[in-house]
Structure 1
Amino acid sequence: MLASCGQQLPEIAPDVVTEKTLHDTDDPAIWVNRENPEESIVFGTDKDTDGAIYAFDLDGKVIEAKTMRNFKRPNNVDVEYDVKLSDSTVTDIMIFTEREREQIRVFSVPDMKPLDNGGFKVFQDTRENEMSLPMGVSIYKSPQSGKTYAIVGRKNGPKEGYLHQIELVPSEKGFTPKLVREFGLFSGKKEIEAIAVDDELGFVYCSDEGDGIRKYYAEPDMGNKEIAIFGAEHFKDDIEGIAISTYPDGKGQIIVSNQQQGTFNFFNREDNSFEYALNLGTTETDGCEVTTASLGDKFPNGLFVSMNDNGEKNFFYHDLSRLKKPVEAEK
């Protein structure tokens, strides 16, 4: 990877720093309360054998009533809206991986009720070399079919079929899982953790940490061929968390953590070209997430959330309007 990522950038201090978790922050997700945006929730994983999914308000305070504890190394988390249940009702959902139990969990939001009968086991075909341990997860809700899928990655895996796409089929108890495909190439250099899905444009992105950002179609019937791999030359070492900012007409950005550099790289959502990098004050960032929705007076322009160094055990909030291309980069 090239040295172009080594420039020193001015720090953009966070607007809010959350309260600390107990063990080790890893990945955030943002649930937008569409009826009262100022009561939106940031969920964050506390990655430990005595782990938890923390809920934070927009001031960074822990919402204990929405925080869920006693999970075995919860790793990555994502949310989706208006997912159909068996009785034709819809609910917002949260999915996260529970690595040490080799499963994914599904809960309704904001009432935090389980919809998975205790969890869905994944990657049970092999017990070797940590291939059964789930890490990354993202949700795809198909605009074409209305079906909802979990796309799950693992601690280690084969050179082909590193990712599993699991349909969440409505059932009497919430959902039942249906594996619909195994896809995704892997360099074998490090691991693939971060996964993000662009529902509108129909793409899956994942960070092959030592090799590049991989891109695939999200619709299973579009095939497993890799569309692109990009960005490696803009990272110092590990390519980590991915967030996708979405605006009308396909506009927006793919925002990716340049972990060892302590910065974030911004790529064009339409053609995936590199645009610029920013220093947001975090160190060793794993996961990040973004929403372009207005969250009331606190974050009227949208919100970017990033995990801070695991020793600090917190997350940083930035108003999205502050994450603009640096003037120096335009010269």
Structure 2
Amino acid sequence: MTRKTLIFSAAALALAVVLGGCGPQIDKTAAAQKPLTPQGALSLSNVVSSQLAPLVLGGADYLLLASEKRGLVLVSAEGEEKLALDGGKVERFALQQLEQDRWLIAVYDEDSAQLQLRLLDLEQGSPRIRYLAAMATTAPQVALCFSRQAERTHLFAIDENGLGQEYVVHPREQAWEFTGVRPLYFGEQVSSCTVDDHSGKLLVAQPPLGIWSLNSDAEMDEDRQVFATPAELGDGEFGGLWLDSASGNLWLTSGERVLAFNINVPGKPHFVESLADMEPVSAAVQRGSLLALEEESDRVQQFAVKLPEPAAEIQAFRGPVEIPRVRASGQTAPVQSGGDAADDPAIWVNPANPSASLILGTDKKSGLSVYKLSGELVEHFPVGRVNNVDLRPIQHGKYVAIAAASNRTDPGISLFGITGEGKVEDLGLRSLDMGDPYGLCVYRRGADLMAWVSDKDGPVQLLQIVPGEGNVDWRLQKVAELDVKSQVEGCVVDDEMQMLFFGEEDGGIWRLDIAAFLAGEAKPQLIAPVDGERLAADVEGMGLYHAGDNSYLVVSSQGNNSYALFSRDGSQFVGHFKVDINLDKSLDGSSETDGLEVSSASFGDQYPQGLLVVQDGRNRMPSQTQNFKLVSWADIAETLQLK
């Protein structure tokens, strides 16, 4: 076990002990009831099983069992064997219904040390199991569970050392594939897992610590919490998690008992029964009866019990409102710095050859990076802790565009010149009378090049960038100052309308008529408040998509990992979307986005209607340092049915 895992496990154990001491306890009256005696049993032949799960095929009830001698065994609800795999030693499997009469199975085969995918379906009315794919593993897998996300199937697999992996499992021409998404760390003694797709929670049993709950979506914060502590589960081994999604009941075993929890209510179980003369390791419900299986057993015991009613919230459940998803089209190379480093992009459109345009992206721990549209790194300028970057064309003898980036190392603005050939040159730092330069956006006012720069703990300054002939004689001239109520980072200016839009991270989107403000006749207006749905705090990056009457203000809504589109003046909400996985290109989606930029220029076949570039706070598939994701505007327009 690594030092990191040991530290985490020790901290988790301490947390579980504290929670166990003060949390709700099992009803001692219920726990002291007379043990249940079986009302019947299904006798199996040479199965030696430690896991069972019910399923339906062709309208008939079946049980699937892991077999240490025969791989997988399928029996009818009456115990009649219907089929088995030839050979293999299987102790754990995951089961997911793809559609009616089609079930996906993941197993860990100890003999071959492989994760395997199988398909259970019907052939001429009879059950059959077909091979789909296999992948070698470096350690035995002790917990497997499926999740359904955005019409994709995800598999969580946790090994005996407590190292988990999330995969997307998906069909290809010849066989299914395992595409790695992210690692997960638990420590030793994990016994089982399951996923509640309604709430998007992954539940992991880890004796003696308890049952963990964490987000199953890799693009969200892990948000690991204790679902049930040892005080609710008992001192012995517990696990065998099985979720009855129709009722919202989470079933598991602990010692000689079977427990059920309301999946939406962490803490005390609402069903506790002891079983006579057995210590089950797997339990489920079928045909109104409780089924229980001992470790390495050939007998499934059946118990007549009063089952808990479906949870009220499950009965009324209508499902969450799903935000539309648009697949990523490309990505940049990862930034050099680890942790929260990538922040804000800008797009330089090469007027002579749009396909040779550039993306500028800040690494707020080290400097500014320049990328091709393919995502390849062209150059990195180690100029310090640059936060936001923006650029505009300029009439100049040497440069066709100027980029400016707020620099927090030595408070000021780093300037960069871009030549007609696409070469970026560092023009140096221009100091500011500001404590901590943060947000920045550049615009043109007639022939003048202007910039708004926010102080992280102070007002926003309006500056003029005064050109020079050489690299050293460019300067900044302060024009005005705008007082704001709280922290401002994201901003963008509509040059034609001379309108500033800026984001108050916890408040919403503000709009300011610049000319009227400079004349002393206007103050900022809050035009789109944070509401937790269309716009969820923090409000971060902003960009303007210019296409005449079909122009939009695009804003990163960090709190729900989405991107909100508003009308050009910001007054009307148009729609929102998330950037999703693109399995064809082995790209993950984006989440926790800080900065973004968008352009309506045609960049060729891949981006014919323009390009959106967003910072990705969690770079997966595989897990790497942060980067920037590229999205085709044509895909956005199609998904949101824009004009």
In the alignment, structure 1 residue 292 sits paired with structure 2 residue 600? yes
Please tell me the residue identity of whatever aligns with 1:320: W
- Give the aligned partner of residue 275 of structure 1: 574
Could you say if the C-alpha distance between residues 301 and 218 of structure 1 is closer, same or farther in structure 2, counting changes exceeding 3 Å?
same
Q: Specify the SS of the correspondent of 1:152.
A: strand
- Give the aligned partner of residue 171 of structure 1: 468
Q: What aligned pairs does 1:67-78 form with structure 2 within 5 A after superposition? A: 67-68=380-381, 70-78=382-390
Q: How many Å separate the matches in 2 of 1:327 and 1:310?
A: 25
- Give the aligned partner of residue 264 of structure 2: none
Q: How many Å separate the matches in 2 of 1:114 and 1:240?
A: 26
Please say if residues 265 and 274 of structure 1, whose CA atoms lie closer than 8 Å, have aligned partners that are also in contact: yes
Percent sequence identity over aligned pairs = 27
Please say if residues 326 and 639 of structure 2, whose CA atoms lie closer than 8 Å, have aligned partners that are also in contact: no
With 31-40 and 301-310 compared, the bigger mean Cα shift is at: 301-310
Q: How many Å separate the matches in 1 of 2:627 and 2:535?
A: 23
Q: What aligned pairs does 1:296-307 form with structure 2 within 5 A after superposition? A: 296-307=604-615
- Per-residue CA distance 1:110-139 (angstroms, 9 max, x = gap): 332344xx3222234xxxxxxx11011111
- Give the aligned partner of residue 194 of structure 1: 490
The alpha carbon displacement at 1:310 in A equals: 5.3
Q: What aligned pairs does 1:99-110 form with structure 2 within 5 A after superposition? A: 99-109=408-418, 110=422
- Per-residue CA distance 1:43-73 (angstroms, 9 max, x = gap): 110111xx12111111111113xx31x2221
With 226-235 and 132-141 compared, the bigger mean Cα shift is at: 226-235
Could you say if the C-alpha distance between residues 37 and 177 of structure 1 is closer, same or farther in structure 2, counting changes exceeding 3 Å?
same
The alpha carbon displacement at 1:328 in A equals: 9.7
Greater relative contact order (CA < 8 Å, ≥ 6 in sequence): 1
Q: How many Å separate the matches in 2 of 1:210 and 1:79?
A: 26
In the alignment, structure 1 residue 8 sits paired with structure 2 residue 322? yes
Q: Specify the SS of the correspondent of 1:324.
A: helix
Please say if residues 212 and 239 of structure 1, whose CA atoms lie closer than 8 Å, have aligned partners that are also in contact: yes
Q: What aligned pairs does 1:31-46 form with structure 2 within 5 A after superposition? A: 31-46=348-363
Q: How many Å separate the matches in 1 of 2:433 and 2:638?
A: 41
The alpha carbon displacement at 1:272 in A equals: 2.1
Q: Specify the SS of the correspondent of 2:425.
A: coil
Q: Specify the SS of the correspondent of 2:540.
A: strand
In the alignment, structure 1 residue 317 sits paired with structure 2 residue 617? no
- Give the aligned partner of residue 226 of structure 1: 523
In the alignment, structure 1 residue 136 sits paired with structure 2 residue 439? yes
Unaligned runs of 5+ in 2: 1-319, 580-588, 620-624
Q: How many Å separate the matches in 2 of 1:47 and 1:79?
A: 17
Q: How many Å separate the matches in 2 of 1:57 and 1:294?
A: 15
Q: With the length of structure 2 as denominator, give the TM-score of the two structures.
A: 0.44
Q: How many Å separate the matches in 2 of 1:270 and 1:155?
A: 26
Please say if residues 214 and 226 of structure 1, whose CA atoms lie closer than 8 Å, have aligned partners that are also in contact: no
Q: How many Å separate the matches in 2 of 1:76 and 1:273?
A: 26
Q: 2:369 aligns with which of 54, 57, 78?
A: 54
Please tell me the residue identity of whatever aligns with 1:166: L
- Give the aligned partner of residue 129 of structure 1: none
Q: Specify the SS of the correspondent of 2:326.
A: coil
Please say if residues 184 and 226 of structure 1, whose CA atoms lie closer than 8 Å, have aligned partners that are also in contact: no
Q: With the length of structure 1 as denominator, give the TM-score of the two structures.
A: 0.83
Q: How many Å separate the matches in 2 of 1:112 and 1:72?
A: 17
- Give the aligned partner of residue 333 of structure 2: 19
Please say if residues 480 and 518 of structure 2, whose CA atoms lie closer than 8 Å, have aligned partners that are also in contact: no
In the alignment, structure 1 residue 92 sits paired with structure 2 residue 401? yes
Could you say if the C-alpha distance between residues 11 and 184 of structure 1 is closer, same or farther in structure 2, counting changes exceeding 3 Å?
same
With 37-46 and 303-312 compared, the bigger mean Cα shift is at: 303-312
- Per-residue CA distance 1:265-314 (angstroms, 9 max, x = gap): 11111352111110113111000000001112231111000000156411
Please tell me the residue identity of whatever aligns with 1:150: A
Please tell me the residue identity of whatever aligns with 2:430: F
Q: How many Å separate the matches in 1 of 2:398 and 2:369?
A: 27
Q: How many Å separate the matches in 1 of 2:547 and 2:606?
A: 20
Q: What aligned pairs does 1:243-254 form with structure 2 within 5 A after superposition? A: 243-249=543-549, 251-254=550-553
Q: How many Å separate the matches in 1 of 2:395 and 2:638?
A: 39
Q: How many Å separate the matches in 2 of 1:184 and 1:247?
A: 32
Q: How many Å separate the matches in 2 of 1:310 and 1:133?
A: 26
* Number of residues of Structure 1 aligned to a counterpart in Structure 2: 297
Please tell me the residue identity of whatever aligns with 1:108: G
Please tell me the residue identity of whatever aligns with 1:95: A
Could you say if the C-alpha distance between residues 263 and 325 of structure 1 is closer, same or farther in structure 2, counting changes exceeding 3 Å?
farther
Please tell me the residue identity of whatever aligns with 1:121: S
The alpha carbon displacement at 1:38 in A equals: 0.5
Q: Specify the SS of the correspondent of 1:56.
A: strand
Q: Which has the larger Rg?
A: 2
The alpha carbon displacement at 1:225 in A equals: 2.4
Please tell me the residue identity of whatever aligns with 1:102: P
Please say if residues 58 and 298 of structure 1, whose CA atoms lie closer than 8 Å, have aligned partners that are also in contact: no
Report the aligned-residue RMSD. 2.2
Please tell me the residue identity of whatever aligns with 2:537: D
Q: Specify the SS of the correspondent of 2:637.
A: coil
Could you say if the C-alpha distance between residues 240 and 167 of structure 1 is closer, same or farther in structure 2, counting changes exceeding 3 Å?
same
Q: Specify the SS of the correspondent of 2:370.
A: strand
Please tell me the residue identity of whatever aligns with 2:355: E
Q: 1:79 aligns with which of 391, 407, 416?
A: 391
Could you say if the C-alpha distance between residues 44 and 169 of structure 1 is closer, same or farther in structure 2, counting changes exceeding 3 Å?
same
Could you say if the C-alpha distance between residues 181 and 275 of structure 1 is closer, same or farther in structure 2, counting changes exceeding 3 Å?
same
Please say if residues 84 and 170 of structure 1, whose CA atoms lie closer than 8 Å, have aligned partners that are also in contact: no
Q: How many Å separate the matches in 2 of 1:41 and 1:156?
A: 32
Could you say if the C-alpha distance between residues 320 and 98 of structure 1 is closer, same or farther in structure 2, counting changes exceeding 3 Å?
same
Unaligned runs of 5+ in 1: 1-5, 125-131
- Give the aligned partner of residue 447 of structure 2: 146
- Give the aligned partner of residue 240 of structure 1: 540
With 213-222 and 34-43 compared, the bigger mean Cα shift is at: 213-222
- Give the aligned partner of residue 30 of structure 1: 347
